[in-house]
Structure 1
Amino acid sequence: MKKKIAIIGSGISGLTLASFLKQSDDLEFIVYEKEDSLNLDEGFGIQLSVNSVSILNKIGFSQLSKNEKHHPPNLDFYSENSKKICDLDLTIFNSKIEKYTTLKRSILIRFLKEKLLTNSLIFRKRINAIEYKNERVNISFTDGSKDEVDYLVISDGIFSNSKPIIENKIFKPIYYGSSAIRIQTKNKNIFNFNNNNISLVMGPNSHLVVYPINQSNELNIVYIIRKKLENNKDVKKIFNNTIFKENKNLANCFEEASKFWPLYISSKPTKSIYQNVFYIGDAFYAFPPTLAQGASQAIESAFEIFNLIKDNHHNIQSIYFKNREERTNLIIKRSKFNYFSFHISNKILKIFRNKILKILVKNKKFINSYLGKVYKK
């Protein structure tokens, strides 16, 4: 008899898991989504390191049109006045078909959705309660419908609606002390940088990331500042300070930017009280953004739980949580260190950081230890 899996949430992690489950003849699945439809609007960019690209290639990602993605060869580091400090070669982690990739999030969601049958994705569904009985999970939804499954996988994000109901406790994400502003532009003259690469501009208590997301010269720009933005006036004020003060062309690109997001992370990885309930993606742990691993870790966690279910391990919960927790802690430490180093404001420390950075980006042993453990799982 086939094992049945219910997936709650149709983001990157949920759809990745569903795409792999579809390949198995011994497993059946259904994806439940609380919204009315998938958001396939243009959306903002994401970065995928080779650890996740290698997974996606197993379901045909390498066949995605070359026009809809980009493979940046380098990460260029800049000071706040746009003076280049050094660069990191990202291709050292690449293989012939596994390459560091940037693209629009909506393109990846569309790619994953196209792998699924229409009836495997059901909208307007919210969990109301669950009952764990005889190693089966009985799910009740707010519309009165029910389902009974062997495994329940939660992938509805950091502000999960399902998690408090299932675990019968309150989960409060932690405000990370920063806000993000994101835009997209085709303006190639923002400042003097290589539009083929990822550019990281490090300013006092802030940093800016610019990278191409396709072959149509579109750039994704993310600005992160250690400040809680309350309204549009706060947004306008920052354009007269920090990085923007030194880059008027860049400030002009952000003139119409009015949306901002406070940044939150999870307090700790989530392990369910039930043996057959699992959390993946941001529902398991939402990372700081300073290692660009959010999407890649969502894909990793989905693939890991797929393999454990497919191989019918007897102690899936313990194996999965142990592996994920170790991996998560590794990435948290590096993300927090990056957050500190990107935002240094002391002039002497900045000089010291820049000199050390020039040495480290050329030290293969260090790079393989610091990034290789993340990029090549």
Structure 2
Amino acid sequence: MNRGSVLVVGGGIGGLSTAVALRGAGYDVNVVELQEDLHSSVYGVGIIQPVNALRALDAIGCAEACLAAGYSTTAWGQMLDVEGNLIREMPGARIPGSELPPMNGLTRPRLHRILTDRATDAGVSVEYGKTFTTLADGPDGVQVSYSDGTSNRVDFVVGADGVYSKVRPYVLGEDLRPVYLGQSAFRLNIPREPEIDRIVLQHGPEGLAGFVPIGPDLAYLFYNTTWEEGRWLDQDKMADELRQRLAPFGGLTGRIRDKYINDSSQIVFRPEEWLIAPAPWHRGRIVLIGDAVHAVTPHLGQGAAQAVEDGVVLAECLSSHGSHEDAFHAYTERRYERCRLVVESSVAIGEYEMDPAAHPDFDHAGLTQHVLETMVLPV
């Protein structure tokens, strides 16, 4: 059954997941990605997949491959003090009746390969080095002009093109910009030490170090730290800067610092930004998903999870409603408060990390557990 044609703008995690979900719902789907190839469209080192992400990936036939390619945990994580002593266990949450683990970690290139292969196998067309130039929404479809000089008409357009979305102005009609949290993050792939069998968070006097297993022999280190907006660090100075900032740490972080932080070229540095766009997340036949409407800082590992959920829910709504207007309204209603909780909770954790003394009663682990337990509820 052919239910119509959909253009997905953006070939990242959310865009590919949405494409697979829509293809499964009977739509012809084409993805355009501005980057020139699969490799260049992947950012970052590793990714956290909480159990709600695995549930959504299972709905599009990708969870099993992710579990096979990554590292599954029996609990969410634990918190350590600056010397490496245990402060608190963080059990995470499970979905009743499901065998899915509380968390899976894997590399971003592996996840991208899994999603791309699944999309291709499902019959999705993916074009790299291409994007749209104009969208003209009308009662019978959206006329699309592309960067390669071609054009066509599609039934719907999905904007999955990130926090600086070029599709978003067609929907919201205003210049929304993400908010810089005041933190930036260093990330680096490292060999997995035995104790990195879940997320390990270690609080320092300034900033927070963390470790995530992403394979049997691989993990990644991240360090969230207060950082002046607009300040950029030369790539060749990354290792020295990170070692200096981790100098107060003992325990696991101290050992990792001394053993593995020596190659600046392998360190990824990113500012942490957030956004929650006002509803509705559509106008006419154009709809937004993922970071285009709810950019999430990494403190709860939920950014990609929410984008994958968006795609699954959008496909469900289009399949179960008689008109696209009803479907898009239902999609936003099902997603808005859930995404807002994740965005606002992540921001709160980041603000606490930057200035613990200003938030003496803040319960980092407790808020994390609350969000994780909320996320296992039906989407």
TM range (shorter): 0.7 to 0.9
Q: Could you tell me how far 1:66 is from its partner in structure 2?
A: 5.0
Do structure 1's residue 12 and structure 2's residue 13 form an aligned pair?
yes
Larger mean Cα displacement after TM superposition, 330-339 or 160-169: 160-169
Cα–Cα, structure 1 residues 357 and 312, in superposed 2: closer, same or farther, change >3 Å?
closer
Give the match for residue 333 of structure 2. Answer: 322
State how 1:26-105 maps to structure 2 within 5 Å: 26-39=26-39, 44-64=45-65, 67-74=68-75, 75-90=77-92, 92-93=94-95, 95-99=97-101, 100-105=103-108
Cα–Cα, structure 1 residues 107 and 244, in superposed 2: closer, same or farther, change >3 Å?
farther
Which deviations, in whole Å up to 9, do the C-alpha atoms of 1:314-371 show, x marking residues without a partner? 322322223322112211232123224444544994xx76xx778x59xxxx94x443
Q: Tell me if structure 2 keeps the 8 A contact 1:202–1:343.
A: no
Return 5+ residue gaps in structure 1 as ranges.
Answer: none
Q: Could you tell me how far 1:259 is from its partner in structure 2?
A: 3.8
The alignment's TM-score, normalised by the length of structure 2, stands at 0.84
Which deviations, in whole Å up to 9, do the C-alpha atoms of 1:153-195 show, x marking residues without a partner? 010111223334665543322211111111001162xxxx722
Q: Could you tell me how far 1:47 is from its partner in structure 2?
A: 1.1
Count, aligned residues: 361
Q: Tell me if structure 1 keeps the 8 A contact 2:206–2:354.
A: yes
Identity rate of aligned residues, in percent?
20
Q: Tell me if structure 1 keeps the 8 A contact 2:71–2:215.
A: yes
Give the match for residue 177 of structure 1. Answer: 182
Cα–Cα, structure 1 residues 6 and 83, in superposed 2: closer, same or farther, change >3 Å?
same
Q: Could you tell me how far 1:147 is from its partner in structure 2?
A: 1.8
State how 1:1-377 maps to structure 2 within 5 Å: 2-24=3-25, 26-39=26-39, 44-64=45-65, 67-74=68-75, 75-90=77-92, 92-93=94-95, 95-99=97-101, 100-117=103-120, 120-164=125-169, 169-186=174-191, 188=193, 194-215=195-216, 217-228=217-228, 229-232=231-234, 233=237, 236-241=240-245, 244-246=248-250, 247-252=253-258, 253-257=260-264, 258-266=267-275, 268-269=277-278, 271=280, 274-314=283-323, 315-346=326-357, 349=360, 367=369, 369-377=370-378
Structure-1 separation of matches of 2:317 and 2:141: 17
Cα–Cα, structure 1 residues 145 and 113, in superposed 2: closer, same or farther, change >3 Å?
same
Structure-2 separation of matches of 1:313 and 1:111: 32
The residue type equivalent to 1:120 in the other structure is S
Q: Tell me if structure 1 keeps the 8 A contact 2:19–2:31.
A: yes
Q: Tell me if structure 2 keeps the 8 A contact 1:79–1:201.
A: yes
The residue type equivalent to 1:197 in the other structure is R
Structure-2 separation of matches of 1:108 and 1:34: 19
Cα–Cα, structure 1 residues 94 and 177, in superposed 2: closer, same or farther, change >3 Å?
farther
Structure-2 separation of matches of 1:172 and 1:343: 22
RMSD: 3.0
Q: Tell me if structure 1 keeps the 8 A contact 2:170–2:283.
A: no
